[in-house]
A and B are shown apart, each in its own frame.
Chain A
Amino acid sequence: MHALWHPLLQSLRIALLATAGAGLVAIPLAYLLARRQFSGKALAETLLTLPLVLPPTVVGYFLIVLLGRNGLLGRPFHFSIMWTWYGAAVAAGVVAFPLLFMPTRASFEGVDRELEDISRLMGANRFQVFWHVSLPLAGRGIASGFLLAFARALGEFGATVMVLGIRDSTRTLPIFVYDEFEELNPAGFVPAVLLLFGVALVVIVLYNHLFVRGSKKN
């Protein structure tokens, strides 16, 4: 199991940063799209949910075109997304983003507007309404989005491997599985496969228990 330690830590920190970053962007945007109309809304919706169906390698390609050493932003600002775990977190975050954005937006839409209106009448400003009324009421759906997004970021391979490359010192668990498999080393990949499978199982059981059966009770 010792060989799994570094890939596990690497996967965890990438997934945590990816999910946190996705959340910071998804929650305000989801609230905006749930409550406001504006020109270009349909385009925004399309772009924000596109990574759900784009092949991860295509996502990786676009990220490198934008944020690589010779990228549209990378070149003028002298940075590159490549080789770094936080670069990988950007890739995983983009891929996992729709899994957080969509349930969050649906949850905000499901919040009773009257409750928001009442609290405004009682003197709360827009941020206070969001923070004290909308967010808690949408909390369940948002939590379910976080769970799925985290699991997706943990299991991300296509975009992540394009950004990280395959280096012994930076492998995530999925990259570890691929690398060890390509070298025909079952002692390496079998424990990793079992670990990832176990994590996925736990996530789905949690998801169903907390967010599916629970909603049926209501």
Chain B
Amino acid sequence: MSRKLIFIAVVLLGGLTCFGDSVTVSAAISLKEVLTEIANLYQTDTGNKADLNFGASGTLAVQIQQGAPVDLFISAGNKEVNALSAAGLVDAATRQVVAGNQLVLIVPRDFADPPAKFEDLLDARFRHVAIGQPKVVPAGQYAMQTLKSAGLDEKLSSKLVMGENVRQVLSYVMRGEAEAGMVYATDAAAAGDAVRVAIQVDESTHDPIVYPAEIVKSGRYPAARQFLSYLGGDKARQVFLRHGFTEPTPQPATRN
């Protein structure tokens, strides 16, 4: 009799864990403030929690490759998502672009005589120029594309310092350790008046900046789907826009 009671209790307890479908999301660190706000709204609206894990998209992709228990992956570029897709770790059929962004060149707040064009960075007063480490940071990849198109990638190479993620790039400029840096417009906005935007980068000099999300195949699909569809909803869209993100540009289907 008592064994039956224990069995029933265990089944009931197990059943209780089905309520509260929390979703674990690994997202590009430039999404930190906007996703945190959306996650709070999500919890209020659905009762479900979204556990957010931020970092450089490449670093997060490596974590997923190593088996990190993640349900949804939101990258700041296609490269990382495509790589995981090719490795069979994320479901390309669930791909959804949640936002877009713009690249800017920033300088520290009290920097005298900010650069008007990228060639100005060759000047001696710019000792260190910070960009994301292109190997793992999409913002660094976009930055290198822009520098290449200006013919400056070789000439500036001795001055370049690489951040492990785009927020470290921001930090270097805020602290004045780098006289200039390339981050997203939303990162500059998040830093407030600690930095100044010197140049709004011409979009044609780099790949379109997009935030594709895909569900991790080993993850919890229902929870991930619910959060992903919330991200595409009107409420979330308004939050993205308010933080300075742009509407996602229409994307071709992923090439696997």
Q: Which chain A residues have a beta carbon within 8 Å of chain B's beta carbons?
A: 64, 68-70, 80, 82-83, 165-167, 182-184
Given A68-B175, A69-B176, A70-B175, CB of A83 within 8 Å of CB of B62: no
Asked if B91 lies at the interface with its beta carbon under 8 angstroms from chain A, I say: no
- In the docked arrangement, what's the CA distance between A70 and B136, Å? 28
CB-defined contacts of B136 to chain A, threshold 8 Å: 182-183
Is the CB–CB distance between A68 and B177 below 8 Å? yes
Contact assessment for B161 and A83 in the assembled complex, using a CB-CB cutoff below 8 Å: yes
A83 touches B177 (CB 8 A): yes
Alpha-carbon gap, A134 to B205, bound state (A): 68
Residues of B within 8 A of A167 (CB): 161-162
Q: Are the CB atoms of A183 and B135 closer together than 8 Å?
A: yes
**Which residues of chain A come closer than 8 Å to B196, judged between CB atoms?**
none
Return the chain B residue nearest A164 by Cβ: B161
CB distance from B175 to the nearest CB of A (A): 6
Q: Does B164 contact A (CB under 8 A)?
A: yes
A-B contact pairs, 24 of them (CB 8 A): A68-B175, A68-B176, A69-B176, A70-B175, A70-B176, A80-B176, A80-B177, A83-B128, A83-B161, A83-B177, A165-B161, A165-B162, A165-B163, A165-B172, A166-B162, A166-B164, A167-B161, A167-B162, A182-B59, A182-B62, A182-B136, A183-B135, A183-B136, A184-B65
Interface pair B62/A82, CB less than 8 Å apart? no
B133 at the interface (CB under 8 A from A): yes
Q: How far is the CA of A101 from the CA of B152 in the complex (A)?
A: 49
Distance (whole angstroms) from the CB of A153 to the closest CB of chain B: 23
Question: With the chains together, A166 CA to B133 CA distance in Å?
Answer: 9
User: Which residues of chain A are near B133, meaning CB under 8 Å?
Assistant: 166
Which residues in chain B, 119-160, are within 8 Å of chain A measured between CB atoms? 128, 133, 135-136
Residues from chain B with Cβ under 8 Å of A70 in the complex: 175-176
Which single residue of chain A is at the shortest CB-CB distance from B128? A83
Closest CB of chain A to B211's CB: distance in Å?
Answer: 23
Chain B residue nearest in CB terms to A168: B162
Interface centre among B65, B133, B177 (most CB of A within 10 A): B177
A69-B161 CB under 8 A given contacts A83-B128, A182-B62, A184-B62: no
Q: Which residues of A contact B135 (CB under 8 A)?
A: 183
- Closest chain B CB from A57 CB (angstroms): 14
Q: Please give me the residue from chain B that is nearest to A82 by CB atom.
A: B177
Residues on B with C-beta less than 8 A from A80 are 176-177
Complex CA gap A167/B162 in Å reads: 7
Alpha-carbon separation in the docked complex, A70 to B178 (Å) = 11
Distance in Å: Cβ of B65 to nearest Cβ of chain A? 8
Other contacts beyond A70-B175, A165-B163, A183-B135: 4, CB < 8 A = A64-B175, A80-B176, A80-B177, A83-B177
Report Cα–Cα, A165/B176, bound state, in Å: 14
Q: Which of B54-77 contact A (CB under 8 A)?
A: 59, 62, 65
Partner of B177, one of A69, A166, A182, A184: A69
Closest residue of B by beta carbon distance from A69: B176
CB atoms of A69 and B175 under 8 A apart: yes
Q: How far is the CA of A184 from the CA of B83 in the complex (A)?
A: 14
Smallest distance from the beta carbon of A186 to chain B beta carbons, Å?
A: 14
| A-chain residues with CB within 8 Å of residue B128 when the two chains form the complex | 83
> Could you say which residues of chain A place their CB within 8 Å of the CB of B172?
165
Closest to A184 in B: B62
Residue of B nearest to A81 (CB): B177
In the assembled complex, the CB of A34 is this many whole angstroms from the nearest CB of chain B, namely 40
> Chain A residue with minimal CB distance to B176?
A69
Within 8 A of A (CB), among B79-112: none
Q: Which residues of A contact B163 (CB under 8 A)?
A: 165
Q: How far is it, in angstroms, between the C-alpha of A83 and the C-alpha of B176 when the chains are bound?
A: 12
Bound together, the chains give a CA A183 to CA B137 distance in angstroms of 12
Tell me, in angstroms, the Cα distance from A165 to B136 when the chains sit together: 15
A-chain residues with CB within 8 Å of residue B59 when the two chains form the complex: 182
Please measure, in the bound complex, the distance between the C-alpha atom of A183 and the C-alpha atom of B164, giving whole angstroms.
Answer: 12
Q: Residue on B with the closest CB to A161?
A: B164
Interface string of B149-193 (1 = CB under 8 A from A): 000000000000111100000001001110000000000000000
Give the residues in chain A near B164, CB-CB below 8 Å. Answer: 166
A residues in contact with B65, CB < 8 Å: 184
Closest 10 CB pairs of A and B: A69-B176, A82-B177, A70-B176, A69-B177, A165-B161, A70-B175, A167-B161, A80-B177, A69-B175, A68-B175
